[in-house]
Structures are given as C-alpha cells and as structure tokens.
C-alpha cells in the first residue's frame, strides 16, 4: 500500500478513513449524503410532496403522479446550498470551520401524457453528493477534503388504474465520481479518485379517494457502486496505483398524506425511511495488497416533513414547511467529513403561474449541534475529532416550469 512506504503507523488510518471520507460527504438534511430536495415547490413546504406529486418533479417524488398532468410539462431547476459546519475540538481548544461555499445542484424533468391512462417522464438530478473542505484542521489525518459528484438519469412510466388510483415506476442510471483527501504525513496528502456507473429502480402509488384527501407511497432501490480509479500521495512522489472502493447509496421508502380543506389550502405530511444500514462494511482494494474491509456501520433513520400551501388564486401560492431528520452516524463511527447530527430544517417559498409558465423560489435554513466524546472506530481518532460540532446551513432553490 502506498502509505506503508511513508509511515507504517498511518496505514490502518489511511485505509479506514479513506473510505469513510468518500462515503461521508458533508451532507444535506443530516442524512448521510442524501439530497432529498428536488423541486423548490416541494422543498418549501418541508419536502412533503409524495401525496400531491402534480408537477414534472413527480418523476422523482412519485412517478404515479404523472397521470395528473394534462399536457407536456418541463422543469428546469437549480439548488444552491451552503454547508456551514464549525468544530470546537478538544485537541487544541480552537474553533475550526469547514470552507463552505454554495454548491449548485441541477434538476431537469420532462413529462407528458401518453393517451388517457398512461404518462411518461425522463429526468436528471443529484439525489446524493456534496463536499467538505477542512484544510489542515487538527483532524486532517482523519479528514481534509472530500467530494462526490452524483447524477442520476431517470426514465419512468405511470398508469391510471382507475379515476382514483395510479401506479408508477422506472429505472435510474447513475454516474458517480468521488475524490477523497487526508493527510498521510506533514505536507503530504493521500488522494483517492474513482468513478462508476450503476442502475437502480423506483416504484410508487398515488391514491386520491376524493378531492380533499390523497395518499402517496414511493420506494427507491439501493444503488451499488464500485468506484474504480487510483490512489496516490503526489507530494511524496508516489505515483497513483490502481484502487477501487465499493459504495452503497441506500434504498428509501416515503409515505405521505395530503389534506385539502378547501380550494385555497393544502396541508401535507411525509415520513421517509432511509436504509443507511446498507452502508455496513465497504472494501478498499489496492492490488497487489490484500483487500481492506472498512466498517461504516451507519444506522437507518427517519425524516419527518410537514408543510402547508396557501393559494389565494390561480397565479400565486405560498408555502412553508419543516423537516426533522435523525442522525444516521453513530458515535462509534463519527467522522468530521460527515459531522452528522439531528437537524431541523425550516423552509418557505413562493410560486407564480401564468400563461403556461410556472416559477418557484424556495429558501431553507437548517441548524443542528452535536458533541462527540465516545471513542470512534478510527484508531486513535477520538483524540483528533472529539469536541462540539455546530451546523448552520442555507439553501436557495429556483425552478422554471413550462407546459405546452
């Protein structure tokens, strides 16, 4: 292994934390590296949308909802998020800050009815990813910089079984490109880069028993990736060697209920289960050395979202919402590249619709704190990462929809 040539004592940490860094991107919604917000209209009301799903973004939220569209509809959106994480570490008693920046994440959806009962849609979005950059913080031996670029292309169909019941589903094709860095020795970083393509699938149901009530269920399957590339320590003059890392993004199940007491108000609540237990033990391979097992051992968690829409007329609507998301990373496996914690997300937004155009704008603010004292799974890592971690995130999302 490359790091053995520099300092044998670092070898175990390099293998273990290398994989932790890649899978542990600074994440959205305190949920590993999952990015569930994919439409500003849905996002601004607490991402509670699976039981409504009457926009092109239903391709992701609930494909069965596409049967509600009566014309070709397109959605082009962009989400910018700033991940502000600060750490008061025990090792030096100082405060260190992640080099946060607004990270743009795109969404594109195109949907159309095909006959009286069938609808189809295609889309591209980024349901996982993001990055952190701690620089030469005292836990640089554990985490310096990570990045995961993750794009999924979707193709879905929806079919109306009856006037009140629709089903939907399809296939997703993902391309993932990961980079991780950590200090191997003073002034020298261990760098792993790899990419892969994989497929998964989505299935959903939408039931509208009457005009006031609707229910939705969506399941997205896991994605198994094997990021193939190279690992090197460039500053030490050690060239890249073939390396790979298996990475799993979890399956999710979301259930929602929407209530419309009149023509002006919609109230919706969603509960989403994210199966992070899939991320058990990964493997870093760097031939001709033996495979190195990497214990993640994350825990499955829940997201609870509730939101409200007030639409005084057919032109304007106003949304507000709240999401509570449980921590998915146990103390035993804590890593500052994730710095996971229970987090609260507040959101608000406005939507304007006229002449076939639909423009949505949303803002999010998140906060969450966590103190780490228990020994981590990284050898001697507890002395490096113990302390108090504070998260303050800001997100802005804009989309333009057009119906033809």
pLDDT tens digits for 16-33?
334 333 333 334 444 668
DSSP reduced 3-state for 210: coil
Cα–Cα–Cα angle for 230, 382, 296, rounded to 5 degrees? 50
Helix (H) or strand (E) holding 204: strand 188-207
Residue 78 to residues 41, 105, 106, Cα–Cα distance (Å): 12, 6, 5
Q: Which of the four pLDDT bands, split at 50, 70 and 90, describes residue 181?
A: confident
Over range 148-176, report the average pLDDT: 97
Residue 378: per-residue pLDDT: 54
Over range 278-293, report the average pLDDT: 78
- Write down the pTM of the prediction: 0.87
Among left, alpha and beta (phi > 0; psi -120 to 50; other), residue 358 is: beta
**E-only strand ranges, 209-342:** 213-220, 223-233, 238-249, 252-259, 265-274, 281-285, 292-295, 301-310, 316-325
Over range 254-274, report the average pLDDT: 97
Among left, alpha and beta (phi > 0; psi -120 to 50; other), residue 187 is: left
For residues 9 and 271, which has the higher predicted lDDT (pLDDT)? 271
Among left, alpha and beta (phi > 0; psi -120 to 50; other), residue 377 is: alpha
pLDDT above 90 for 370: no
* Sign of the torsion angle spanned by Cα atoms 363, 319, 314, 213: positive
Helix (H) or strand (E) holding 184: strand 165-185
- Residue 328's closest CA among 339, 313, 316? 339
Is 331 within 8 Å of 376 (Cβ atoms)?
Answer: yes
Residue 373: per-residue pLDDT: 75
| Helix, strand, coil percent content, the chain, rounded in steps of 5 | 10, 55, 30
Over range 332-340, report the average pLDDT: 73
Could you tell me what percent of the chain has a pLDDT over 70?
85
Over range 351-356, report the average pLDDT: 96
Task: Give the whole-angstrom CA distance, residue 202 versus residue 200.
Answer: 7
- Residue 85's closest CA among 396, 341, 354? 341
pLDDT in tens, 197-217: 999 999 999 999 999 999 999
- Residue 357 burial (CB count, 10 A): 11
For residues 151 and 295, which has the higher predicted lDDT (pLDDT)? 151
Task: Give the whole-angstrom CA distance, residue 47 versus residue 306.
Answer: 8
pLDDT above 80 for 320: yes
Over range 306-313, report the average pLDDT: 98
Beta strand 165-185 with 357-372 is: unpaired
Residue 287 to residues 3, 172, 242, 370, 402, Cα–Cα distance (Å): 13, 31, 7, 38, 51
pLDDT in tens, 249-263: 999 999 999 999 999
DSSP reduced 3-state for 376: coil
* CA dihedral of 201, 269, 166, 397, whole degrees rounded to 10: -60
User: Mean pLDDT, the chain, as a whole number?
Assistant: 85
DSSP reduced 3-state for 265: strand
For residues 361 and 2, which has the higher predicted lDDT (pLDDT)? 361
Query: Tokens at residue 153, please?
Result: 């292309």
Residue 229: per-residue pLDDT: 92
- Residue 382's closest CA among 350, 344, 343, 335? 335
For residues 126 and 89, which has the higher predicted lDDT (pLDDT)? 126
- Residue 116 burial (CB count, 10 A): 7
Q: Which of the four pLDDT bands, split at 50, 70 and 90, describes residue 118?
A: very high
Residue 383: per-residue pLDDT: 62
Residue 5: per-residue pLDDT: 31
Task: Give the whole-angstrom CA distance, residue 353 versus residue 189.
Answer: 51
Task: Give the whole-angstrom CA distance, residue 294 versus residue 19.
Answer: 7
Residue 143: per-residue pLDDT: 67
CA atoms within 13 A on the CB side of 315: 2
Residue 163 has phi, psi (to 5 degrees) of -65, -20
Q: How far apart are the first and last CA of the chain?
A: 58
**E-only strand ranges, 42-94:** 73-89
Over range 222-248, report the average pLDDT: 85
């Amino acid at each position: 292994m490359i790091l053995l040539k520099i300092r044998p004592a670092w070898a175990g940490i390099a293998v273990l934390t290398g994989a932790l860094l890649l899978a542990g991107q600074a994440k959205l919604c305190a949920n590993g590296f999952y990015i569930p917000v994919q439409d500003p209209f849905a996002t601004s009301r607490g991402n509670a949308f699976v039981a409504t799903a009457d926009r092109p973004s239903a391709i992701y939220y609930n494909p069965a909802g596409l049967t509600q569209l009566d014309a070709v509809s397109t959605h082009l959106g962009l989400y910018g998020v700033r991940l502000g994480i600060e750490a008061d570490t025990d090792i030096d008693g100082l405060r260190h800050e992640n080099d946060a920046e607004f990270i743009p994440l795109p969404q594109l959806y195109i949907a159309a009815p095909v006959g009286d009962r069938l609808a189809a849609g295609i889309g591209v979005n980024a349901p996982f990813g993001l990055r952190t950059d701690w620089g030469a913080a005292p836990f640089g031996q554990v985490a310096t910089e990570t990045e995961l670029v993750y794009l999924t292309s979707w193709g879905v169909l929806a079919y109306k079984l009856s006037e009140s019941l629709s089903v939907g589903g399809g296939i997703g094709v993902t391309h993932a490109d990961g980079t991780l860095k950590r200090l191997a020795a003073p002034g020298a970083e261990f760098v792993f880069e790899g990419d892969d393509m994989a497929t998964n699938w989505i299935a959903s149901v939408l039931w509208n028993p009457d005009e006031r009530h609707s229910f939705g269920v969506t399941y997205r399957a896991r994605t198994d990736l094997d990021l193939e590339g190279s690992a090197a320590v460039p500053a030490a003059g050690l060239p890249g060697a073939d390396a790979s890392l298996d990475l799993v993004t979890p399956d999710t199940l979301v259930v929602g209920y929407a209530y419309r007491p009149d023509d002006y108000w919609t109230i919706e609540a969603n509960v989403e289960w994210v199966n992070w237990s899939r991320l058990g033990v990964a493997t870093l391979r760097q031939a001709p050395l033996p495979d190195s097992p990497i214990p993640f051992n994350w825990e499955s968690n829940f997201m609870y979202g509730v939101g409200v829409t007030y639409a005084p007329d057919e032109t304007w609507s106003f949304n507000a919402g709240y999401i509570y998301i449980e921590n998915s990373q146990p103390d035993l496996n804590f890593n500052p590249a994730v710095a996971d914690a229970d987090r609260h997300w507040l959101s608000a937004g406005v939507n304007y619709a006229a002449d076939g155009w639909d423009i949505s704008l949303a803002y999010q603010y998140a906060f969450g704190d966590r103190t780490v004292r228990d020994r981590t799974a990284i050898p001697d890592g507890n002395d490096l990462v113990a302390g108090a971690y504070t998260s303050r995130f800001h997100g802005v999302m804009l989309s333009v929809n057009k119906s033809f």
